[in-house]
Chains A and B, each alone.
Chain A
Amino acid sequence: MSDGPLTLTLNGKLRQFEKVPDSERLLDTLRWRAGLKGTKEGCRTGGCGACTVLVNGEPTLSCLLLSHEIDAEKVTTIEGLASEKIGRVVIKAFTEAGAVQCGYCTPGFVVALAAQLRGAGPPPSVESLLDGLEGNLCRCTGYRAIQKAVEAVHEALK
């Protein structure tokens, strides 16, 4: 094990971490080295989507990724998205639709939805946006309110 240094562009800022074990997952680097606990730890097996972040703009399960695999790349977490316009639109829609109950899955949903809406041009269809949330599990809401939030976001960006 080499425990080498790691560099990430994290929410737009260059961050360096010393002695990061080769076996460390991005989820743990974000939560316990960078202090960004908005990315939630769920199943750690890629089954729940609670740990979704953006790596170079692509939604990625941070529990399945070794941090060193993405050395020097760009990572955006829920904390970063919350200060972007699209993040604010999505968070507002979730809040107003009653799509947040325990809230543990919510940052993952927000990231997975916002990821599909960051590009220029009109938003993808509601159906396509929902397809993009198939990897995110919610146990509280029964998803109906989340579907409404997706529709509201789509309407707001159309």
Chain B
Amino acid sequence: MTRSDAEPKARGAVEYGTDLAAPHMLWAALVRSPIPHGRIVRMDLGPAREMPGVVAVVGPDDLRDLLPKGALEAERPVFPLDEIRYRGEPIAAVAAETLEQARAAAAAVAPELESLRVDARIEDIFPEWPSEAAAKDPRVVGHVHARYGDLDAKFRNAELVHSETYRTSGVHQVAIEPHACLAEVRDGTFHVRSSTQTPFGVRDDLASILGVPPSRLVVEGTWVGGGFGGKGAAFLEPYAVLLAVASGRPVKLSLTFEEEFELGRTTLPSIIRLDTAVSRGRIVGRRVRLLLDTGASLPGRDFAVGYSIGFLLGPYRTEAYEIEGFALQTNQPPFGPHRAPFAPQSVFALESHIDGLARRLGVDPIEFRKLHAWREGDRTAYDQPVGPFGLEAGLEAAARTAGVWRTGLPPGHGIGVACGFWSTATGAGGEARLRLRPNGLTILQGEREIGNGSVIRGLAAVAERVLGLPDDAIRVEYGDTATAPFDSGVFGSRTLGALGQAVEKAARSLAHTLASRVGAPAIRLEMKNDQVVVVAGRRRQKLADLLTPAERTAGGVVALGKHYAPERTVDASRVLAGTVYPYQDFTAAVHLAEVEVDRETGHVRVVRYAAFQDVGVAVDPPGLTGQVEGGVVMGLGTALSEEMLWTPEGRLANPGLLDYRLPRIRDVPPIHVKTIEGFAGAGPFGAKGVGEPPIIPVPAAVANAVADATGTRVFELPLTPERVARALKLL
């Protein structure tokens, strides 16, 4: 089964955001703050307006003239309303005839700035775990607190309390395609083409940020050259729209890689404190403290903390707990989602902690996890029901593989295990319109393919399974936000699980319509001589012969499928402050890593890897394997080499691929991908999304393997040779 987009992409024949162009198009560049914290005292944009080729320059003072309400949304200002909050924050934007002219004019803007105190790094603000008083620090801007059970008694009566502190680093999505968009104004409507995971999300963000009604905005996605969460909200689009309004011409804006890194919208550093109480060999209580750097984020700080902290109890039964999370405001760029946002970091801490605890108790780490693993019917920390869940089955499969690997394990090698859970079928909902024509099926929906295959192949595979049509008779079509049915976006591993349900319902509706037309209880479809044939038992009829005259004119039978997420609630009595996230439709991942640690340099080599992924039902096995392999290798980057290095002065020291090291083709170990099936999720046929889960356990599995190989634990991500060497006391 090959994907229909593979061949055109391989020969360079599809249009991404960076390829966008329009007649009379201008090129844009951002003027970015050279200081990480301060105020604009005076900014004269006049000289930039006089530069060669410049057609429009917009700054904070121009917003009122360009937009009805002046783009003054306090939560997401286009330009700083009061303070500049991070180095590189856009303070003005330029459009010119050529990109060089736009960048030259942007560079020529010389604002007079007043610098304020810089709080760049979590470790400088809180070198040690902050005391209760430090939690009242004005830089702590978000607070989430939840509690359940008699935790004090559990700790008082515990036979053993295991206490550790972990630290994680900022990591970047690094899609190979930089962000890019093109905006123009036509008949009073703002048209935006953008490389985005969420056309409808960008439309609604733009409406809110620019203060214009959604009906005046049309957003069309392009092919996306990698998203990984980084292309899920309006980002460059507001600047492109403003410049298009100011210039009266189409405006293209894309980022350099330096800008990609410096503008962030990615995972930021954290400190995680875990205390676990044990009685009679079992975990009876846990206290969790999370200090999450949320950078210059304004909206979503509580969400970032409330969402992240839930992973620190893990997919395990916990009789009593207290979790408390703080969002720390720093002069780094805003926090943003990155494939399974913050889960790999949380799980690194939790699964390292549990592994160390099992070793301290002298218990096999896999057996210890099995003792506590969620099973169907369990309740989560916030009292939500756990549905069919493949964790225990995954652990059993992992135990068998670990046993094989353990036999003949060379000296200096170690094996580590780690588990993760994820929530799929998320988002508000999705709609799809199916049209069955005499020569095939089209699926019209609002998402563009971002790479993982969930749109172009996943949605087709759902229709294929319901109707029996082969993949090459099914076409997934895209619309813009004015023409396509609504969908929340390609994020949260939700496309197959949520939008897929809309496709499944529409496909079943088509099948039902045709079944009643031929007077049979059920039908399936086949292709013969490029014609759709309706098969009911032994009867076969061409679809063309079953259409009404009106349908023949209209072009076939149409069905609309809708899936809207059910309301999820948590036990509010457990939540003392802030908002916790109601995870849903759980999927499990169990990973095994074998590593070799160089005892002189601290270099960690991953020798082999195995991923056991709870998928409910494998709808597209080759695509599934690709998601797991890709997630594992991205996770190896988080585990071993990827780290955004901020200086105390608020400068990113490694804003490029030469100093921010991604895994390369020769770094990749053999990866055994095993699916755990039979634990049905909410998606079509019981499928669960797999875009994000495979990255989650990776850093922990690697760290646990390093601990197994060396007897020494590393408490900070990534496990660079330097950190490992320090832990081994080689430095």
Contacts and interface: CB of A to CB of B under 8 A. Distances in A.
Contacts of B452: 101, 140
Nearest to B20: A37
A103 B633 contact: no
B472 interface: no
Nearest to A35: B21
Considering the complex of A and B, which 8 residue pairs feature the smallest CB-CB distances, nearest first? Answer: A38-B12, A102-B451, A103-B9, A47-B657, A104-B225, A142-B633, A142-B629, A82-B11
Given A101-B453, A103-B225, A147-B665, 18 more contacts: A36-B12, A38-B13, A43-B257, A43-B657, A45-B656, A47-B257, A77-B12, A91-B10, A91-B11, A95-B3, A95-B6, A95-B7, A102-B226, A104-B176, A138-B665, A140-B451, A142-B632, A142-B671
Contact of B10 (A48, A110, A134, A138): A110
A36 to B, nearest CB: 8
Interface string B128-170: 0000000000000000000000000000000000000000000
30 contacts: A39-B12, A41-B178, A45-B658, A82-B11, A82-B12, A95-B7, A96-B2, A99-B6, A100-B3, A100-B9, A100-B10, A101-B630, A102-B177, A102-B225, A102-B226, A103-B9, A103-B225, A103-B451, A104-B9, A104-B176, A104-B177, A107-B12, A110-B11, A139-B226, A140-B452, A141-B629, A142-B626, A142-B671, A143-B664, A143-B668
A101 B665 contact: no
Nearest to A108: B176
A28 to B, nearest CB: 8
Most chain A CB atoms below 10 A, which of B7, B224, B658, B662: B7
Interface in B654-695: 656-658, 662-666, 668, 671
B44 interface: no
Contact of B666 (A104, A134, A138): A134
Contacts of B7: 91-92, 95, 100
B282 to A, nearest CB: 37
A110 B6 CA distance: 12
Contacts of B227: 102
B5 A41 contact: no
A141 B226 CA distance: 11
B409 interface: no
Interface of A: 21, 23, 31, 36-48, 50, 77-79, 82, 87, 91-92, 94-96, 98-107, 110, 130-131, 133-134, 136-147
A46 B256 CA distance: 13
Contacts of A77: 12
B174 interface: yes
Given A42-B176, A43-B657, A102-B175, A142 B668 contact: yes
B671 A48 contact: no
A25 to B, nearest CB: 11
Contact of A107 (B11, B15, B671): B11
B668 A139 contact: no
Contacts of A133: 665
Interface in B1-45: 2-3, 5-7, 9-16, 18-19
Interface in B259-294: none
A82 B227 CA distance: 27
B11 A139 contact: no
Contacts of A47: 257, 656-658
A37 B665 contact: no
Given A45-B658, A137-B176, A95 B2 contact: yes
Most chain B CB atoms below 10 A, which of A77, A99, A101: A101
Contacts of B6: 94-95, 98-100, 103
Contacts of A38: 11-13
A136 B10 CA distance: 14
A143 B225 contact: no
B454 to A, nearest CB: 11
A134 to B, nearest CB: 5
B634 interface: yes
A21 B3 CA distance: 41
A78 to B, nearest CB: 4
Contacts of B453: 101
Contacts of A87: 11
A131 B453 CA distance: 28
B629 A144 contact: yes
A102 B10 contact: no
A79 B668 contact: no
Interface string B409-453: 000000000000000000000000000000000000000001111
Contacts of A143: 629, 633, 663-665, 668
A125 to B, nearest CB: 14
Contacts of A79: 11-12
Nearest to A139: B226
Contacts of A31: 19
A91 B12 CA distance: 10
B478 interface: no
B226 A98 contact: no
A94 B5 CA distance: 12
Contacts of A137: 176, 657, 662, 664
B671 A144 contact: yes
A48 B630 contact: no
B631 interface: yes
B223 interface: yes
Given A100-B10, A140-B226, A141-B629, A42 B177 contact: yes
Contacts of B662: 137, 139
A36 B626 CA distance: 29
B665 A102 contact: no
Contacts of B697: none
B623 interface: yes
Contacts of A101: 451-453, 626, 630
A61 B591 CA distance: 37
B549 interface: no
A126 to B, nearest CB: 11
A37 B257 contact: no
Nearest to B623: A98
B10 A107 contact: yes
A77 to B, nearest CB: 8
B318 interface: no
Contact of A144 (B9, B176, B658, B668): B668
Contacts of B175: 102, 104, 139
A41 B257 CA distance: 10
A141 B16 contact: no
Nearest to A103: B9
Nearest to B175: A139
Nearest to B636: A142
Interface in B331-365: none
Nearest to A146: B665
Interface in B204-237: 223-228
Contact of A139 (B10, B18, B174, B632): B174
Nearest to B5: A103
Contacts of A107: 10-12
Nearest to B99: A28
A42 B658 CA distance: 13
B256 A98 contact: no
B337 to A, nearest CB: 15
B377 interface: no
Contact of B257 (A44, A82, A139): A44
B493 interface: no
Most chain A CB atoms below 10 A, which of B12, B228, B626: B12
Contacts of B174: 139
